[in-house]
Structure 1
Amino acid sequence: MAKITATSVPTPDASPGDLRRRGSVRRLATIAMLAVSLALPAPAEAQNFLDSLFGQRATGSVTPASTQTLAPGAPGGERPWSGESGSSGHPEMTADAIRAATAQFPACIARLWPEAARRGVSRESFHRYTAGLTPELRLMDLMDAQPEFTKAFWDYLDLLVSDARIKRGREILAQNAATFAAVEKAYGVDRTIVAAIWGVESNFGTQIGDRSVLRSTATLACVGRRQSYFRDEFLAALEILHRGDVVPEHLMGSWAGAFGPTQFMPTSFKRFAVDFDGDGRRDVVDSLPDMIASTANNLKKDGWEAGKTWGYEVVVPQGFNYLMADSSRWLTMQEWTRLGLARANGKPFPRPADKAYLLVPAGRRGPAFLMLGNFRAIMKYNPAEAYAMAIGHLADRMRGDGPIVQPWPRDERVLTSAERYELQTHLVRRGFDIGGEPTGRIGPKSRTAIKRYQQAAGLTPDGFASATLLDQLRSR
Structure 2
Amino acid sequence: MPPSRLLASLVMCAAFAAMPLGTARAAAACGSGSFDAWLTDFKAEATAKGISAAAVSTGLNGVTLDQSVITRDHSQKVFSQTFEEFSGRMIPPRLTRGSNMMKQYGSVLSRIEEAYGVPGEVLVAIWGLETDFGVNIGKFPTIRALATLAYDCRRADEFRAELMDALRIVERGDLAPAEMRGAWAGEIGQTQFMPSSWLKFAVDFDGNGRRDLMRSAPDVLASTANYLKGHGWQRGKDWEPGGPNFAVLQQWNKSDVYARTIAAFATQLSHAP
TM over 0.5: yes
State the shift of 1:373 in Å. Answer: 2.8
Whole-Å separation in 2 of the counterparts to 1:186 and 1:175: 19
Deviations 1:293-337 (A, max 9, x none): 1110000010001111222xxxxxxxxxxxxxxxxxxxxxxxxxx
Whole-Å separation in 1 of the counterparts to 2:76 and 2:84: 15
Residues 307 and 398 of structure 1: CA distance in aligned 2, closer, same or farther (over 3 Å): same
Do structure 1's residue 378 and structure 2's residue 249 form an aligned pair? yes
Do structure 1's residue 205 and structure 2's residue 76 form an aligned pair? no
State the shift of 1:392 in Å. Answer: 0.9
Whole-Å separation in 2 of the counterparts to 1:214 and 1:275: 23
Residues 134 and 286 of structure 1: CA distance in aligned 2, closer, same or farther (over 3 Å): same
Residues 247 and 384 of structure 1: CA distance in aligned 2, closer, same or farther (over 3 Å): same
Residues 266 and 308 of structure 1: CA distance in aligned 2, closer, same or farther (over 3 Å): same
Residues 146 and 371 of structure 1: CA distance in aligned 2, closer, same or farther (over 3 Å): farther
SS of 2:245 mapped into structure 1: helix
Q: Point out where structure 1 has 5 or more consecutive residues left out of the alignment.
A: 1-87, 312-369, 402-476
Do structure 1's residue 120 and structure 2's residue 11 form an aligned pair? no
CA contact (8 A) 1:189 1:299 kept: yes
Do structure 1's residue 393 and structure 2's residue 267 form an aligned pair? no
Whole-Å separation in 2 of the counterparts to 1:167 and 1:147: 31
Q: Point out where structure 2 has 5 or more consecutive residues left out of the alignment.
A: 1-7, 18-29
> Aligned letter for 1:261?
Q
CA contact (8 A) 1:217 1:256 kept: yes
Residues 91 and 188 of structure 1: CA distance in aligned 2, closer, same or farther (over 3 Å): closer
Partner of 1:239: 168
State the shift of 1:252 in Å. Answer: 0.7
Do structure 1's residue 136 and structure 2's residue 66 form an aligned pair? yes
Deviations 1:264-289 (A, max 9, x none): 11000011011112222211112221
Identity rate of aligned residues, in percent?
37
Whole-Å separation in 2 of the counterparts to 1:175 and 1:148: 37
State the shift of 1:226 in Å. Answer: 1.1
Residues 186 and 210 of structure 1: CA distance in aligned 2, closer, same or farther (over 3 Å): same
Moved more, 207-216 or 151-160: 151-160
SS of 2:79 mapped into structure 1: helix
Deviations 1:128-185 (A, max 9, x none): 3212211111122322555772444433222222x22111100111011111111111
TM-score normalised by structure 2 residue count:
0.83
Whole-Å separation in 1 of the counterparts to 2:244 and 2:213: 26
State the shift of 1:103 in Å. Answer: 4.6
Residues 173 and 227 of structure 1: CA distance in aligned 2, closer, same or farther (over 3 Å): same
Deviations 1:18-52 (A, max 9, x none): xxxxxxxxxxxxxxxxxxxxxxxxxxxxxxxxxxx
> Aligned letter for 2:67?
L
Residues 143 and 209 of structure 1: CA distance in aligned 2, closer, same or farther (over 3 Å): same
Do structure 1's residue 101 and structure 2's residue 25 form an aligned pair? no
Root mean square deviation, CA, Å:
2.5
Residues 375 and 173 of structure 1: CA distance in aligned 2, closer, same or farther (over 3 Å): same
- The ranges of structure 1 where at least 4 consecutive aligned residues each deviate by more than 3 angstroms after the TM superposition are 90-93, 144-148, 150-154
CA contact (8 A) 1:148 1:387 kept: no
State the shift of 1:371 in Å. Answer: 2.5
SS of 1:283 mapped into structure 2: coil
Residues 145 and 201 of structure 1: CA distance in aligned 2, closer, same or farther (over 3 Å): farther
TM-score normalised by structure 1 residue count:
0.49
Residues 223 and 394 of structure 1: CA distance in aligned 2, closer, same or farther (over 3 Å): same
User: How many residues align structurally?
Assistant: 249
SS of 1:371 mapped into structure 2: coil
Partner of 2:189: 260
Do structure 1's residue 177 and structure 2's residue 48 form an aligned pair? no
